[in-house]
Amino acid sequence: MKNLILKSIKYFFIIFILSSYGQEKFSNPIIRGGYPDPSICKVGDNFYLVNSSFEYFPGLPIHKSKDLINWELIGYGLHRKSQVDSTVNLIDVQSNGGIHAPTIRYKDGVYYIITTNVYYDEEQKKADMVNFIITAENPAGPWSDPIHILGAPGIDPDLFFDDDGKVWYVGNQMPENPNFNGEGEIWLQELDINEFKLVGEKYLLWRGACGGVWAEGPHMYKKDGRYYLLIAEGGTSFNHAVMVALSDNIEGPYISNPRNPIITSRHLSYDNWVNSTGHGDIIQLDDGRNYIVLLGIRNQIKRGSNMGRETFLAPITWEREPFEWKETKHLWPVVSPKTGRIELSNDIVFNNSIQNIEISFKDNFESDKLNLKWNFRRYPIENIFHLNKKDKRLNLICHPNQIKERGRAALLGFKQTESSFEYLTQMHFEPNTNGSEAGISFFQKDDNYINFTLIKDDGKHYLQAYVVKNGELISTKKEHLEQFKGQIKFKVIADKEAYKLYFSTKGTHFNLFANLDGSILKSNGYTGAHLGLYATSNGKKTKDSASFDYVNYLIKKK
């Protein structure tokens, strides 16, 4: 007891010292897991950040911070059915469709998120881009139903409040006569913020610094009386980059920074610790300093990671051109002025700030509301789960649906945040129907997932693990589980792409069931992997369900 008290005093003394003096460095990424296309705003002492969510629901995750390095998930912009079942369709949206590249802004007591829903119509063989705005007085919600901005083509809209009272919509589109597939241009039009309608003349601003190769993700700023247009270019992979141009007038013409791109990894080795950096948004602090949030992909598994695109932070300085022969010496932003790269370790933003990187996520299902970190692929099937507050369990119905493209299943998960981890859950399952199946699922897309489940077949219980890659079953293992008593623990220990699957039906003793290659979860699209729970009756009608006592996700530090 004495040793425990001494250890506690020592621990709290260390915390006190760290709190008093802060840290000198912070680590990237600042928001870990599949959080791409960050946009940021500052209101008072708080920063708010929103990310793309694509086909996942709830959509448009919103984080809050006071120091730019510690972020709390506080809510979602799309959080109820009325928001996603008509104008914005997240019911049967295709993989990699859904919510693209939002912008968050604040003006006169109102928060605005403007973004795009991309929905591919199978019958018409074309994609519809619905650009819309939602509003809220509290960034944690509730948010309004989507307001469709008619006559707005393209994706990745930006909302710019000028100091003369005008509000501008900045968008992206394919040129009328494109020179090649994927060419983009940035356009501008005034927006009536009360009626949410485009008004006046439409202006074509810029096709980027590299010929318009996927010129998208625009953000407009004003500094020293000039307008700065920041865009993403090069596609959201190894050639991704951030470009900037300026103009004396918001309508243009725009002058490209001769030193573009201002941040990228395209000039670095494919084996650099982070790649695909781009799609940024700039924030100014009260003391005049500037930072940029942007996406990147950590190089941990085959030049990528199972987390996909994450949110990073870098400092910005502003430097004026030094050329004596230039009559007008423009002022340009310089990202990471000391190195010109996104760094793993960076100088702290605010003194006395300590970065607390989450090393675990545990949910004991004690609340009557699902933890904010849980996501579904599309809006979930009604009444597919419920929280049993009395027994402190999550009950998941064995729905006939299986995991499939544009489908909805009894499947939910939270974002994988590191490549090495331990994942544990305890399940109660006593199925009556042959074909009823439940357990855990690691999923990245409808056609990329790993399931580790218990299934009833021919009156017997079987343990199985199977891997689906690009829609094809590439690996499966199935064994009869004798003397199953209705309770089982699943445990997975991952070390990068090496996934070891364990189970236990007898207390704390675990048996190794399978060694699998988890690299199939490496992002081959826009989203990272999720770790979750799954149940299905494989097409049969049943009243079977599975219940889970907890999930425990622990990061393995090396």
**Which residues participate in catalysis according to the annotation?**
37, 216
CB 477, CB 464: distance < 8 Å: yes
Question: Number of C-alpha atoms within 13 angstroms, CB side, residue 3?
Answer: 0
CB 477, CB 462: distance < 8 Å: no
Degrees, nearest 5: CA angle 544-545-546? 140
CB 244, CB 333: distance < 8 Å: yes
Q: What is the side-by-side strand order in the sheet with 331-335?
A: 274-284, 290-298, 309-320, 331-335
Number of Cβ atoms within 10 Å of the Cβ of 315: 17
- The phi and psi torsions of 476 (rounded to 5 degrees) equal -155, 145
* Residue ranges with strand state E in 207-284: 216-223, 226-233, 241-247, 255-256, 263-264, 274-284
Determine the Cα–Cα distance for residues 297 and 524; give it in Å rounded to an integer.
12
In this structure, which amino acid lies at residue 529? A
Determine the Cα–Cα distance for residues 316 and 244; give it in Å rounded to an integer.
13
Q: Is 280 exposed, middle or buried (0-12, 13-18, 19+ CB in 10 A)?
A: buried
Number of Cβ atoms within 10 Å of the Cβ of 340: 15
Structure tokens at 192: 């009536």
Structure tokens at 190: 């005034």
Among 281, 288, 354, 265, residue whose Cα is nearest residue 104:
281
CB 69, CB 349: distance < 8 Å: yes
- What's 520's DSSP letter? G
Determine the Cα–Cα distance for residues 382 and 546; give it in Å rounded to an integer.
16
| β-pair partners for 387 | 394
Degrees, nearest 5: CA angle 429-434-440? 40
Max distance between CA atoms of the chain, in angstroms, equals: 86
- Specify whether the backbone of 349 is left (phi greater than 0), alpha (psi in -120 to 50) or beta: alpha
Determine the Cα–Cα distance for residues 117 and 96; give it in Å rounded to an integer.
11
- CA-based torsion, 356, 361, 367, 368: positive or negative: positive
Structure tokens at 491: 């445990």
Determine the Cα–Cα distance for residues 207 and 174; give it in Å rounded to an integer.
10
Degrees, nearest 5: CA angle 259-264-270? 135
- CA-based torsion, 155, 102, 285, 345: positive or negative: negative
- Backbone Cα Rg of the chain: 25
